[in-house]
Amino acid sequence: MTKYDELDPRTELEQVITEDSKRALEKRGFVIQHNGTLDRNAPSDEPDIIAYNNTIHINIEVTKTTKSGADREFLSIKDHLEKSKRENSRKKCFVFYVSPETHYRMMNAIREYDIMNEGKQDLKMMPICFSTFELVMKKLVEAHRDMYPQEQLLALFGEYRRFVDDEHVLEAIHERLFSDDEALKREIKIKEDNKHQKTVEELIRNLQKLEDDLRDNKGIVHIPAIRNIIFLVFMKLYEEKREAEGKENRFTEESFKRFQEYEGQEQEKRAVHILFERIKNDRELKAAKVFTDADLLAEKLDDDFVLNFFIKPYEKYHFYTTKVDGIGAAYEVLGMRTGKDVKAGQFFTPENVVKFMVKLAELEQDDVTLDPACGTGRFLVYSMDEMISKITGRNRDDKIKEIRAKQLYGADYDPDVAKLAKMNMYIHGDGKTNIMDKDGLMLYDFDEKVDVILTNPPLGDQSYLKLANDTLELNRMNVIPKKDVTREKLESCERKLKEAETKLETAKHVQNPKAAKRLDGLIKRYKRVISELQVKIQANDVEYEVRGKQMKGGALFLGAAIHYLKSVRDKSAPIEWRGGKLLIILDEGVLNTDEYSEVREIIKKHFYVKAVISLSRDTFVPVSSTATKTSILYAIKKEDPDAVQQEPIFFAHVEKVGIDTRKRVCANHLFNNGNDILSKYMEFKKKVKASYVGLTFSRERFESQVFLSGTLVD
């Protein structure tokens, strides 16, 4: 609630905003004029309030009209602005549009108008909701006149491409004017997170309804319907990306109608098919093989349906300029409506968990990063941003291109999901060419080539029979429970040889030459077989017999990671920090049940374990509706499997990850202003590394530094 909300718009609202504007702007060289009276609002043919000086003219348009009722306001404020420009041709003319909350259609109209005037120094509008306007006025009033001068205020109008909702307007104001206000920054973050969660939840519901509409209105059902939804979402993302690059967004209501007319499709109604083909033939998308010739919109899908059931109702969402993951939402609907296994890990990983793991990995700009179970590519998107942020020195642009083209790899065995990951990577910058529709357990080309693996493989039991039928893979995957048939044969032959040798001694003792001769031949055969088996074992040409049929997906991906990661990633690091890094979400059964004791021995043999972060059972409920107990394992590959770990392991339990089971924003124990698990781990790591004497870790030195266990307070 702001002080403006209860004011009468006919007799009080403009008057109070006029007084606030005077106190804030007059000391910065503006004259403030209300075009109404002390007890009446301004006439409809004039702007409500104006702020002006010799070079600048700003209309301050005020309304209490909300939601779709605000649509009629746009033409009025546009006419007022253009009239002001005609009357003040030598001045730069702008508009502040102040309302309780800016409806998305009004927001879109303002942004489109600003973009249309992109080449001009003025003729820009800025929407500001009551709460933001009150905040800005208060800060300007309380600040000395030398703070926030005119040119700094005018710079706000240059942020027009970010005007997609009230939260992003506030974010732009914070960055331009009040960047040192940490409390405001936290407030913005909370508002954004809350709105983000509500928007995603609403979007998923609406996409499900769109699938129903496709079935009911067009007879398009099941997987084809969802595939068409994914294509429409990507078209919207693609066009929003074009808009951000200064080109026309052809997927808004008015621009799509213009495109339809230009293509002569007023009668045929197939403009959407033509536009999709144009997008498919984008040079970058073709090079990355994002689409195939078989990727087509359904024949039954026409322009009228797309306009009325997608373009118009989805104008409220801005996927490219906000955190709303349109591709991810479509992915979740794909899982819900196609009967896929939606256990935790099959679809989303909560965003804060992804961010935490990327931060924990401490990626460097030269790292080769792999997610062998990439889904829509979230780990890769955040890894790309993190690696780019680490670039120093010259040739920054060249290094960014190298990271995107050669250092980010993902795999998913489902071709449809791999396509989604390619789309997501394209929208977020690049890396799309390195998304593979392959089984992430069988990426032989990556052996000893990966610096960091960040992944959340499907949890729950996964079949390994396909691996068991591949001799190469079976020999590689030492996590698969199996018996060594070759060694068993060798041990059996060695036992039988001893028995035959004993019997031969007895036969000689009782003078039974016939038995002695038979046993002598048998002994020679056993020795020959033993020799052959020993040669096979020496050459690692052994035969296995698999036990069981399935095991936890995380255990299987652990087995593959042993081969993909470099044995030496950083030669200059302490011994236990030299190898490739693995950060993986595991079903906790892998870490604490008798059934997986052999897998834990394999982890200890091949990795130095740095941290085990136990996650609350509720962590995946908001994204999968499944309560699965999981942990994050952070481990570094050993160069020498026989070497024994000297360093201690960091253990923590995380009860809250920033979103609760009802999809509401809550405390975040992973990372949050220094009082969090990430900060504690970094403190732990620093003390561990300071505890070396030469190449030897000193337990006594570490304990003398007093790293304390305890409980974090929200």
DSSP designation for 350: -
What CATH number is given to the structural domain containing 64?
3.40.91.50
Distance CA(582)–CA(562), nearest Å, equals: 9
| Residue with token string 């006419």 | 79
Average pLDDT, the chain: 88
Distance CA(595)–CA(479), nearest Å, equals: 12
Sequence-ordered list of residues with C-beta below 8 angstroms from that of 695, at least 6 positions apart, any chain: 574, 575
Same domain, 321 and 410: no
Q: Is residue 586 part of a domain?
A: yes
- Report whether pLDDT(408) > 50: yes
Strands 452-455 and 461-463, how do they pair?
unpaired
Name beta bridge partners: 510.
none
Same domain, 256 and 296: yes
What value does the mean pLDDT take over residues 539-545? 76
Q: What is the pLDDT of residues 488-514, one digit of tens each?
A: 888 899 999 999 989 888 888 888 888
Q: Do 403 and 381 form a contact (C-beta atoms < 8 A)?
A: no
> 48: buried, middle or exposed (CB in 10 Å: 19+, 13-18, 0-12)?
buried
The DSSP-derived string for 505-522 is HHHHHTT-HHHHHHHHHH
Instruction: List strand residue ranges (DSSP E) for 293-358, in order.
Output: none
Distance CA(610)–CA(395), nearest Å, equals: 34
Q: Is residue 345 part of a domain?
A: no
- Report whether pLDDT(342) > 70: no
Q: How many other C-beta atoms lie within 10 A of the C-beta of residue 593?
A: 13
* Window from 50-59, 64-73, 509-518, 599-608 with minimum mean pLDDT: 64-73
Strands 452-455 and 369-371, how do they pair?
parallel
More confident residue, 377 or 709: 377
* Structure tokens, 547: 């036990």
- Report whether pLDDT(563) > 90: yes
Q: Is residue 4 part of a domain?
A: no
Q: What is the pLDDT of residues 283-336, one digit of tens each?
A: 888 887 888 888 999 999 999 999 999 999 998 888 887 766 777 777 766 666
| Of 296, 314, 338, the domain-final residue | 338
- Report whether pLDDT(232) > 90: yes
Instruction: Single out the residue of 664, 663, 656 nearest to residue 712, CA to CA.
Output: 656
What value does the mean pLDDT take over residues 657-678? 82
Distance CA(667)–CA(689), nearest Å, equals: 30
- Report whether pLDDT(463) > 80: yes
Distance CA(545)–CA(257), nearest Å, equals: 65
Sequence-ordered list of residues with C-beta below 8 angstroms from that of 150, at least 6 positions apart, any chain: 28, 29, 30, 53, 56
Q: Do 418 and 229 form a contact (C-beta atoms < 8 A)?
A: no
Same domain, 556 and 539: no
The CA-CA-CA angle for residues 307, 310, 315, to 5°, reads 95
- Report whether pLDDT(687) > 50: yes
pLDDT in the model for residue 624: 65
Distance CA(402)–CA(698), nearest Å, equals: 40
Same domain, 507 and 627: no
The Cβ-side half-sphere exposure at 380, using a 13 Å CA radius, reads 38
pLDDT in the model for residue 344: 34
Sequence-ordered list of residues with C-beta below 8 angstroms from that of 367, at least 6 positions apart, any chain: 387, 407, 451, 452
Q: Is residue 299 part of a domain?
A: yes
Distance CA(323)–CA(325), nearest Å, equals: 6
Distance CA(559)–CA(554), nearest Å, equals: 9
Distance CA(248)–CA(579), nearest Å, equals: 48
Phi, psi torsion values for 440, nearest 5 degrees: -65, -10
pLDDT in the model for residue 54: 95
What value does the mean pLDDT take over residues 240-244? 87
Q: Is residue 259 part of a domain?
A: yes
Name beta bridge partners: 609.
635
> 32: buried, middle or exposed (CB in 10 Å: 19+, 13-18, 0-12)?
buried
The DSSP-derived string for 335-355 is HHHHT---STTSS---HHHHH
Longest CA pairwise span in the chain (Å): 134
Q: In which element (H, E) is residue 415 found?
A: helix 415-427
The CA-CA-CA angle for residues 626, 628, 633, to 5°, reads 135
Q: What is the pLDDT of residues 95-131, one digit of tens each?
A: 999 999 999 889 989 998 999 898 899 999 999 999 9
pLDDT in the model for residue 346: 45
Percent above pLDDT 90 for the chain? 56
Same domain, 372 and 444: yes
Same domain, 460 and 498: no
Same domain, 22 and 69: yes
Phi, psi torsion values for 545, nearest 5 degrees: -125, 120
- Report whether pLDDT(17) > 70: yes
Distance CA(141)–CA(144), nearest Å, equals: 8
- Report whether pLDDT(714) > 70: no
Q: Is residue 383 part of a domain?
A: yes
Q: In which element (H, E) is residue 32 found?
A: strand 31-34
Q: Starting from the edge strand earliest in sequence, which strands make up the sheet with 581-587, in order?
A: 435-436, 408-411, 369-371, 452-455, 581-587, 630-637, 607-615, 650-654
* Structure tokens, 186: 């936290």
How many structural domains does the chain have? 4
Same domain, 42 and 158: yes
Distance CA(159)–CA(82), nearest Å, equals: 20
Q: Is residue 185 part of a domain?
A: no
Q: What is the pLDDT of residues 150-207, one digit of tens each?
A: 999 999 999 998 898 898 899 999 999 998 888 888 777 777 777 777 777 788 888 8
Q: Domain residues for 577?
A: 351-464+549-704
Same domain, 453 and 572: yes
pLDDT in the model for residue 257: 95
Q: Is residue 713 part of a domain?
A: no
Distance CA(100)–CA(448), nearest Å, equals: 58
pLDDT in the model for residue 204: 80
What CATH number is given to the structural domain containing 608?
3.40.50.150
* Structure tokens, 46: 């004039």
Same domain, 568 and 680: yes
What value does the mean pLDDT take over residues 462-491? 82
pLDDT in the model for residue 625: 62
Distance CA(192)–CA(2), nearest Å, equals: 19
More confident residue, 194 or 434: 434
Instruction: Single out the residue of 372, 373, 374, 354 nearest to residue 363, CA to CA.
Output: 354
Q: What is the pLDDT of residues 349-370, one digit of tens each?
A: 888 899 999 999 999 999 999 9
Q: Do 467 and 440 form a contact (C-beta atoms < 8 A)?
A: no
Instruction: Single out the residue of 641, 640, 649 nearest to residue 681, CA to CA.
Output: 649
Same domain, 386 and 332: no
pLDDT in the model for residue 548: 82
| Of 496, 513, 545, the domain-final residue | 545
| Of 523, 545, 567, the domain-final residue | 545
Phi, psi torsion values for 152, nearest 5 degrees: -70, -35
pLDDT in the model for residue 20: 96
Same domain, 414 and 521: no
